[in-house]
Amino acid sequence: MTPDAIARVKASYDTLARDALALSTRFYEEMFRAAPKLRPLFPADLLALQGHFEAALSLVVRNLQEMSVLAQPLRDLGAAHVGWGARPDDYLVAREALIAAIRSRSAAWDETLEQDWRAAITGIIVPMLEGAAVETAMAAERLASTLEAQPPRTLQAKPPSTLER
């Protein structure tokens, strides 16, 4: 992202952060409207989770100029999301839901700001998906190593065939 785009996202978030709870409430509403099948993956009471989500978003926005610092924590978050049932396509649903929520809570909105936000959110999702991929690869490794740990199979004595008798 360019320094100008980062500045626009930060300025936009400053206004949104005055009511972060309203933003995250709208985000979950938009996401579950677009993909109702995701609702059962989440706890019935979303309030605690909303706090975590708001904190994560605010941390990312504050660090947009040096996202490399957050790459590993975001990979870890993505790895944890594998266990919660998040799949790659779901992240696009989440991205568009977040953009819709931000748009609905913004007084000023234009194509440039939408592109800026889409770039910022994509910058969150990419390391999360990388972390998910590593988590899945490690699960495959763990499974493969259980095969290697098994003792070599001993050859079974072959029953005499009728031809040999």
Binding site residues, ligand HEM, CB under 6 A: 38, 41-43, 49, 52-53, 56, 81, 84-86, 90-91, 94, 121, 124-125
Q: How far is the CB of 149 from ligand HEM (least distance, A)?
A: 32
Q: How far is the CB of 128 from ligand HEM (least distance, A)?
A: 6
Residue 60: CB atoms within 10 A of its CB come to 19
> Which CB, 6 or 98, lies closer to ligand HEM?
98
> Which CB, 42 or 109, lies closer to ligand HEM?
42
SS3 66: helix
> Which CB, 33 or 52, lies closer to ligand HEM?
52
* DSSP per position, 117-140: HHHHHHHHHHHHHHHHHHHHHHHH
Q: How far is the CB of 100 from ligand HEM (least distance, A)?
A: 13
Residue 69 DSSP label: G
CB 60 within 8 A of CB 124: yes
